[in-house]
Amino acid sequence: AQSVTQPDIHITVSEGASLELRCNYSYGATPYLFWYVQSPGQGLQLLLKYFSGDTLVQGIKGFEAEFKRSQSSFNLRKPSVHWSDAAEYFCAVGASVISNFGNEKLTFGTGTRLTIIP
Amino acid sequence: ETGVTQTPRHLVMGMTNKKSLKCEQHLGHNAMYWYKQSAKKPLELMFVYNFKEQTENNSVPSRFSPECPNSSHLFLHLHTLQPEDSALYLCASSQAGASGTDTQYFGPGTRLTVL
Protein backbone atom coordinates (compact mmCIF):
# COMPACT_ATOMS: atom_id res chain seq x y z
CA ALA A 1 0.00 0.00 0.00
CA GLN A 2 1.13 3.54 -0.63
CA SER A 3 1.99 6.12 2.03
CA VAL A 4 2.80 9.82 2.23
CA THR A 5 5.00 11.73 4.65
CA GLN A 6 4.93 15.46 5.12
CA PRO A 7 7.77 16.00 7.59
CA ASP A 8 6.96 19.62 8.43
CA ILE A 9 3.87 20.09 10.59
CA HIS A 10 4.10 23.89 10.61
CA ILE A 11 6.15 26.35 8.56
CA THR A 12 6.37 30.12 8.97
CA VAL A 13 7.68 32.35 6.19
CA SER A 14 7.75 36.07 5.56
CA GLU A 15 5.55 37.56 2.89
CA GLY A 16 7.52 37.75 -0.34
CA ALA A 17 9.91 34.97 0.64
CA SER A 18 10.23 31.71 -1.25
CA LEU A 19 8.53 28.54 -0.05
CA GLU A 20 9.19 24.84 -0.28
CA LEU A 21 6.92 22.25 1.32
CA ARG A 22 8.24 18.72 1.47
CA CYS A 23 6.42 15.55 0.50
CA ASN A 24 7.82 12.03 0.38
CA TYR A 25 5.85 9.07 -0.83
CA SER A 26 6.13 5.34 -0.84
CA TYR A 27 4.71 3.40 -3.75
CA GLY A 28 6.06 0.54 -5.85
CA ALA A 29 5.11 1.84 -9.29
CA THR A 30 4.80 5.29 -10.85
CA PRO A 31 2.46 7.21 -8.58
CA TYR A 32 -0.24 9.74 -9.22
CA LEU A 33 0.69 12.73 -7.03
CA PHE A 34 -1.44 15.64 -5.90
CA TRP A 35 -1.12 18.79 -3.83
CA TYR A 36 -4.25 20.22 -2.25
CA VAL A 37 -4.70 23.38 -0.20
CA GLN A 38 -7.26 23.92 2.56
CA SER A 39 -8.07 27.41 3.79
CA PRO A 40 -9.68 27.79 7.22
CA GLY A 41 -13.27 26.60 7.21
CA GLN A 42 -13.03 25.35 3.65
CA GLY A 43 -12.69 22.10 1.81
CA LEU A 44 -9.64 21.02 -0.14
CA GLN A 45 -8.76 22.68 -3.45
CA LEU A 46 -6.47 21.06 -5.99
CA LEU A 47 -3.27 23.02 -6.62
CA LEU A 48 -1.62 20.67 -9.09
CA LYS A 49 -1.16 17.03 -10.01
CA TYR A 50 1.42 14.78 -11.63
CA PHE A 51 0.62 11.70 -13.66
CA SER A 52 3.45 11.38 -16.17
CA GLY A 53 5.63 13.39 -18.52
CA ASP A 54 7.44 16.55 -17.49
CA THR A 55 8.52 16.18 -13.89
CA LEU A 56 8.08 19.90 -13.16
CA VAL A 57 4.39 20.60 -12.83
CA GLN A 58 2.80 24.03 -12.82
CA GLY A 59 -0.32 24.66 -10.78
CA ILE A 60 -2.68 27.41 -9.82
CA LYS A 61 -1.80 30.46 -7.71
CA GLY A 62 1.83 30.41 -8.86
CA PHE A 63 2.70 27.06 -7.30
CA GLU A 64 4.84 24.38 -8.87
CA ALA A 65 6.04 20.95 -7.80
CA GLU A 66 8.82 18.69 -8.97
CA PHE A 67 8.61 14.90 -9.08
CA LYS A 68 11.92 13.26 -8.22
CA ARG A 69 11.70 9.51 -8.56
CA SER A 70 15.18 8.90 -7.13
CA GLN A 71 14.22 10.70 -3.91
CA SER A 72 10.56 9.60 -3.84
CA SER A 73 9.67 13.23 -3.41
CA PHE A 74 7.14 15.70 -4.77
CA ASN A 75 7.97 19.01 -3.12
CA LEU A 76 5.78 22.07 -3.59
CA ARG A 77 7.39 25.43 -4.29
CA LYS A 78 6.46 29.04 -4.74
CA PRO A 79 9.00 31.77 -5.46
CA SER A 80 7.23 34.53 -3.53
CA VAL A 81 4.42 33.90 -1.04
CA HIS A 82 1.46 36.17 -0.41
CA TRP A 83 -0.49 36.58 2.83
CA SER A 84 -3.40 34.79 1.17
CA ASP A 85 -1.28 31.63 0.87
CA ALA A 86 -1.66 31.00 4.60
CA ALA A 87 -3.46 27.66 4.76
CA GLU A 88 -2.93 23.95 5.26
CA TYR A 89 -1.31 22.03 2.43
CA PHE A 90 -1.82 18.33 1.78
CA CYS A 91 0.18 16.03 -0.42
CA ALA A 92 -1.57 12.90 -1.68
CA VAL A 93 -0.56 9.82 -3.62
CA GLY A 94 -2.77 7.57 -5.68
CA ALA A 95 -2.10 4.24 -7.30
CA SER A 96 -1.53 3.91 -11.01
CA VAL A 97 -1.83 0.16 -10.89
CA ILE A 98 -5.08 -1.44 -9.86
CA SER A 99 -4.44 -4.30 -7.51
CA ASN A 100 -6.41 -7.48 -7.13
CA PHE A 101 -8.47 -5.65 -4.54
CA GLY A 102 -9.91 -3.26 -7.07
CA ASN A 103 -9.85 0.52 -6.84
CA GLU A 104 -6.94 1.94 -4.93
CA LYS A 105 -7.46 4.86 -2.57
CA LEU A 106 -5.99 8.32 -2.60
CA THR A 107 -3.72 8.49 0.44
CA PHE A 108 -3.16 11.85 2.10
CA GLY A 109 -0.35 13.13 4.27
CA THR A 110 -1.00 14.76 7.62
CA GLY A 111 -0.60 18.24 6.16
CA THR A 112 1.68 21.24 6.62
CA ARG A 113 0.25 24.40 8.11
CA LEU A 114 1.71 27.52 6.51
CA THR A 115 1.79 30.81 8.40
CA ILE A 116 2.78 34.04 6.65
CA ILE A 117 4.26 36.92 8.63
CA PRO A 118 4.30 40.49 7.29
CA GLU B 1 -24.66 26.64 -7.08
CA THR B 2 -21.43 25.33 -8.47
CA GLY B 3 -18.98 22.64 -7.43
CA VAL B 4 -19.68 20.55 -4.36
CA THR B 5 -21.98 21.82 -1.62
CA GLN B 6 -22.54 20.42 1.85
CA THR B 7 -25.24 21.08 4.43
CA PRO B 8 -25.29 21.84 7.24
CA ARG B 9 -21.93 23.54 7.66
CA HIS B 10 -22.02 23.06 11.42
CA LEU B 11 -23.86 20.47 13.49
CA VAL B 12 -23.96 19.85 17.22
CA MET B 13 -25.69 16.70 18.37
CA GLY B 14 -26.08 14.54 21.43
CA MET B 15 -25.07 10.91 21.47
CA THR B 16 -28.68 9.74 21.22
CA ASN B 17 -29.68 11.98 18.31
CA LYS B 18 -30.16 11.01 14.69
CA LYS B 19 -29.06 13.46 12.05
CA SER B 20 -28.05 13.47 8.40
CA LEU B 21 -25.36 15.24 6.40
CA LYS B 22 -26.09 16.15 2.81
CA CYS B 23 -23.75 16.56 -0.13
CA GLU B 24 -24.61 17.67 -3.65
CA GLN B 25 -22.29 17.94 -6.62
CA HIS B 26 -23.03 20.08 -9.68
CA LEU B 27 -20.10 18.84 -11.78
CA GLY B 28 -21.71 15.95 -13.62
CA HIS B 29 -19.42 13.46 -11.87
CA ASN B 30 -20.17 9.80 -11.34
CA ALA B 31 -18.26 9.11 -8.13
CA MET B 32 -18.77 10.55 -4.66
CA TYR B 33 -16.82 10.15 -1.43
CA TRP B 34 -17.11 10.75 2.30
CA TYR B 35 -13.96 11.59 4.26
CA LYS B 36 -13.39 12.24 7.96
CA GLN B 37 -10.84 14.89 8.89
CA SER B 38 -9.65 14.91 12.50
CA ALA B 39 -6.97 17.13 13.97
CA LYS B 40 -3.39 15.89 13.52
CA LYS B 41 -4.52 12.88 11.43
CA PRO B 42 -4.57 12.27 7.68
CA LEU B 43 -7.87 12.39 5.87
CA GLU B 44 -9.67 9.11 6.36
CA LEU B 45 -11.67 7.77 3.46
CA MET B 46 -14.99 6.42 4.73
CA PHE B 47 -17.13 5.52 1.73
CA VAL B 48 -16.97 5.60 -2.05
CA TYR B 49 -19.92 5.47 -4.42
CA ASN B 50 -19.45 4.93 -8.12
CA PHE B 51 -22.52 5.27 -10.34
CA LYS B 52 -24.68 5.10 -7.16
CA GLU B 53 -23.14 1.80 -6.10
CA GLN B 54 -21.05 1.60 -2.95
CA THR B 55 -17.57 0.42 -3.92
CA GLU B 56 -15.70 1.15 -0.71
CA ASN B 57 -16.49 0.90 2.98
CA ASN B 58 -13.31 1.54 4.87
CA SER B 59 -14.25 -0.38 8.02
CA VAL B 60 -16.54 2.41 9.15
CA PRO B 61 -18.70 1.75 12.25
CA SER B 62 -22.34 1.03 11.55
CA ARG B 63 -23.43 4.19 13.37
CA PHE B 64 -22.47 5.91 10.07
CA SER B 65 -24.83 4.96 7.26
CA PRO B 66 -24.34 6.36 3.75
CA GLU B 67 -26.97 6.76 1.09
CA CYS B 68 -26.53 7.68 -2.57
CA PRO B 69 -29.90 8.04 -4.32
CA ASN B 70 -28.33 9.35 -7.54
CA SER B 71 -24.94 10.42 -8.85
CA SER B 72 -25.46 14.01 -7.69
CA HIS B 73 -26.48 13.45 -4.08
CA LEU B 74 -24.83 11.75 -1.16
CA PHE B 75 -26.03 11.52 2.42
CA LEU B 76 -24.40 10.39 5.63
CA HIS B 77 -26.92 9.30 8.26
CA LEU B 78 -25.68 9.53 11.82
CA HIS B 79 -27.04 7.78 14.90
CA THR B 80 -25.77 6.97 18.38
CA LEU B 81 -22.49 8.77 17.77
CA GLN B 82 -19.59 9.01 20.19
CA PRO B 83 -17.64 12.14 21.19
CA GLU B 84 -14.63 10.82 19.25
CA ASP B 85 -16.72 11.11 16.08
CA SER B 86 -16.46 14.89 16.33
CA ALA B 87 -14.59 16.00 13.22
CA LEU B 88 -14.89 17.75 9.88
CA TYR B 89 -16.73 15.55 7.39
CA LEU B 90 -15.79 16.24 3.81
CA CYS B 91 -17.62 15.18 0.70
CA ALA B 92 -15.85 14.92 -2.64
CA SER B 93 -16.69 13.92 -6.18
CA SER B 94 -14.75 12.83 -9.23
CA GLN B 95 -15.47 12.01 -12.84
CA ALA B 96 -15.25 8.26 -12.39
CA GLY B 97 -14.69 5.90 -9.51
CA ALA B 98 -10.92 5.46 -9.77
CA SER B 99 -10.30 7.11 -6.43
CA GLY B 100 -6.56 6.64 -6.63
CA THR B 101 -6.09 8.51 -9.86
CA ASP B 102 -9.07 10.80 -10.43
CA THR B 103 -8.91 14.42 -9.41
CA GLN B 104 -11.32 14.81 -6.53
CA TYR B 105 -13.28 17.99 -5.90
CA PHE B 106 -14.16 18.73 -2.31
CA GLY B 107 -17.00 20.46 -0.58
CA PRO B 108 -16.45 22.85 2.34
CA GLY B 109 -17.27 20.21 4.92
CA THR B 110 -19.62 19.83 7.87
CA ARG B 111 -18.09 20.52 11.29
CA LEU B 112 -19.68 17.94 13.57
CA THR B 113 -19.55 18.15 17.35
CA VAL B 114 -20.91 15.26 19.41
CA LEU B 115 -21.70 16.08 23.02
The 10s digit of each residue's pLDDT in A28-82 is 777 889 999 999 888 899 999 998 888 999 999 999 999 999 999 999 999 999 9
| Amino acid, res. A34 | F
Nearest CA in chain B to A92: B100
Task: Per residue of chain B (115 residues), give pLDDT as tens.
Answer: 579 999 999 999 988 889 999 999 999 999 999 999 998 788 899 998 888 888 777 789 999 999 999 989 999 999 999 999 999 999 999 987 666 778 899 999 999 999 9
Per-residue pLDDT for A101 more than 50?
A: no
Instruction: For chain A, give the percent of residues with pLDDT over 90.
Output: 73
CA A56/CA A48 separation, integer angstroms: 11
Reduced to 3 states (helix: H, G, I; strand: E, B; else coil), residue A111 is coil
A2 confidence band (pLDDT: 50, 70, 90): confident
Question: A23 CA to chain B: closest CA distance, Å?
Answer: 14
How many Å lie between the alpha carbon of A15 and the closest alpha carbon of chain B?
26
Using a CB-CB cut-off of 8 Å, the residues of chain A touching B105 are 46
Q: How far apart are CA A13 and CA A77, in angstroms?
A: 13
**Residue A117 and residue A10 in contact, taking contact as beta carbons nearer than 8 Å:** no
Q: By CA distance, what is B40's nearest residue in A?
A: A110
